[in-house]
C-alpha cells in the first residue's frame, strides 16, 4: 500500500488520514492482525484500556520492526479512571513499555459521574509533563466540548465518535469543526452494515472499487478520520487504497442521505450510554 498522507490536528500534531481500529483484536491472532496492519502500511493505531489489548499492541509494534517514531499510537482513558487520568496514562505506558503516547482520549463522558472535566484537566497535565503529545475526547456532545474548553482553555485535538452512513452525525461534525476539533470515526463501516446499502454498492460498481472503499472515501470527503478494523490482510490493504478516485458531490450527498434517526449501533447515545 502507498504511504498514507497525513493531516495536522489543531494542536499541530501530524496524523495519518486513516487509522487502524484494534477492537476486539486480542491474543496471538490479535497480534498477528496488528503486525500485518503495520506491515501493510498503517501508522495510526487506535486502542483503549477497555479493549484489554494494549499489551498486544505493543508486542505488534515491536515485532513489526516499524520505528516507534513513525507510529501514531492512541489509547483511551476509561470511565473508572476519570479522576486519576494521568495515572491511567502512566499505567498504559507501563503496560506497553513506552516513554510517551501520541494521543490519549477520554473514552466516554459518562455524564452521570460528573467527572469528565476533571479527567480533561488531568490529560492537560499529562501533556504538559510530556507523557502524551496530543489529547482529545471520544463520544462528546458539543456542550461537553464547551465544558472542557471553558474549564481549561485547552481545546481537544479530536473527538472520536460513532460515524457511518446510517449515522452521519451532521450536527456533531459541524460542532467539532467550528471548535477546531478533528472528528475521528469509530465503526466507520457501520460494522459491515454500510457495505450492504444498495446506494453504496451502486457507487462502488460505477468506480470499479469495493463498497468498503466507497464508504471510507466518503469519510475523507467529509473531513472525517476513519479507523476501520480488519483482521484480514487483504481487506487491510484495500481499506487504505481510497485515494485513487473521487466521489461526486451527488454521490457524497446520496451516502449521507442514508442517515436515520435510529442509525446508531447498539444504542450508543453518549447522553445515556456509559462505560466504566
What does the per-residue mask of binding to ligand NAP show for 190-219, with x meaning CB under 6 A?
Answer: xxx--x--------------x-x-------
Does 264 contact ligand NAP by CB under 6 A?
Answer: no
The three three-digit cell numbers of residue 197, written as one number: 446499502
What does the per-residue mask of binding to ligand NAP show for 235-254, with x meaning CB under 6 A?
Answer: x--xx---------------
Smaller CB separation from ligand NAP, 12 or 115: 115
Sorted by sequence, the CB contacts under 8 Å of residue 240 that are 6+ apart come out as 1, 4, 18, 40, 41, 42
Cis peptide before 24 (omega within 30 of 0): yes
CB count in 10 Å sphere of residue 109:
29
Give the range of 35-43, 123-131, 182-190, 200-208 binding ligand NAP by CB under 6 A. 182-190
Does 138 contact ligand NAP by CB under 6 A?
Answer: yes
Does 46 contact ligand NAP by CB under 6 A?
Answer: yes
| Contact of 159 with 145, CB cutoff 8 Å | yes
| Of the candidate residues 17, 77, 227, 255, the single one contacting ligand NAP (CB under 6 A) | 227
Sorted by sequence, the CB contacts under 8 Å of residue 113 that are 6+ apart come out as 79, 82, 274
The residue behind cell 476533571 is 118
Site residues (CB under 6 A) for ligand NAP? 21-23, 46, 138-139, 160, 186-192, 195, 210, 212, 227-232, 235, 238-239
Amino acid at each position: 500500500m502507498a504511504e498514507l498522507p497525513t493531516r495536522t490536528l489543531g494542536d499541530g500534531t501530524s496524523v495519518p488520514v486513516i487509522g487502524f481500529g484494534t477492537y476486539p483484536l486480542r491474543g496471538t491472532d490479535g497480534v498477528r492482525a496488528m503486525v500485518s496492519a503495520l506491515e501493510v502500511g498503517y501508522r495510526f493505531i487506535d486502542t483503549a484500556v477497555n479493549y484489554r489489548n494494549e499489551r498486544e499492541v505493543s508486542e505488534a509494534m515491536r515485532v513489526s520492526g516499524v520505528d516507534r517514531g513513525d507510529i501514531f499510537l492512541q489509547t483511551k482513558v476509561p470511565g473508572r479512571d476519570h479522576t486519576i487520568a494521568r495515572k491511567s496514562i502512566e499505567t498504559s505506558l507501563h503496560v506497553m513499555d513506552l516513554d510517551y503516547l501520541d494521543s490519549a482520549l477520554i473514552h466516554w463522558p459518562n455524564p452521570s459521574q460528573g467527572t469528565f472535566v476533571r479527567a480533561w484537566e488531568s490529560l492537560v497535565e499529562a501533556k504538559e509533563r510530556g507523557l502524551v503529545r496530543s489529547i482529545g475526547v471520544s463520544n462528546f456532545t458539543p456542550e461537553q466540548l464547551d465544558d472542557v474548553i471553558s474549564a481549561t482553555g485547552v481545546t481537544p485535538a479530536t473527538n472520536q465518535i460513532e460515524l457511518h452512513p446510517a449515522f452521519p452525525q451532521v450536527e456533531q461534525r459541524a460542532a467539532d469543526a467550528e471548535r477546531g476539533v478533528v472528528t475521528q470515526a469509530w465503526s466507520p463501516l457501520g460494522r459491515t452494515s454500510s457495505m450492504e446499502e444498495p446506494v453504496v454498492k451502486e457507487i462502488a460498481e460505477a468506480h470499479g472499487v469495493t463498497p468498503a472503499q466507497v464508504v471510507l472515501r466518503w469519510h475523507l470527503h467529509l473531513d472525517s478520520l476513519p479507523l476501520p478494523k480488519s483482521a484480514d490482510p487483504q481487506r487491510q490493504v484495500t481499506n487504505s487504497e481510497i485515494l485513487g478516485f473521487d466521489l461526486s458531490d451527488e454521490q457524497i450527498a446520496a451516502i449521507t442521505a442514508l442517515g436515520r434517526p435510529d442509525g446508531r449501533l447498539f444504542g450508543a447515545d453518549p447522553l445515556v450510554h456509559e462505560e466504566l
